[in-house]
Amino acid sequence: MRDNGLSSMVTGIAIGLGIGAAVGILFAPQSGEDTREYLMGAAKDRFNDTKDRFSDVTDRVRDVKDRFGNVVESGKDFARQAQDSVEGVKNHVKDLTDAGQRAYRDAAKA
């Protein structure tokens, strides 16, 4: 029963579109050639608008990607600097520990 309702609806829509197209042609204020030119011009305008918007979106995505890449690079640089600092502190602590051990041995010998 549902299929019957769906087919009736599709048939009604198709008939409505046909009647609308016929009435539109009968009462069109312009000739067919003028109407086609108008429709082609409107279609080209919409296509160009869409192309421009797509280009804008593409540029924005590229900018975000570049910014993200810069943030990632900055993060990597910071991590390298932190690792270098930790290594420096580690080496300094080792040197101090070695010096303390030498001083202890020297004091124990004396």
The predicted-structure confidence for 25-48, as pLDDT tens digits, reads as follows 777 777 778 877 877 888 899 899
DSSP-derived 3-state class of residue 110:
coil
| The pLDDT value given to residue 31 | 75
CA distance 53 to 45: 12
CB 35 within 8 A of CB 28: yes
Name 35's Cβ contacts closer than 8 Å, sequence gap at least 6. 28
Name 38's Cβ contacts closer than 8 Å, sequence gap at least 6. 30
CB 106 within 8 A of CB 98: no
CA distance 32 to 4: 38
pLDDT tens per residue across span 44-92: 998 999 999 899 999 999 999 888 888 888 989 999 999 999 999 999 9
CB 51 within 8 A of CB 43: no
Mean of the pLDDT values across residues 8-20? 88
Instruction: Domain ranges for the chain, please list them.
Output: 1-30, 31-109
pLDDT-derived band at 1, boundaries 50, 70, 90: very low
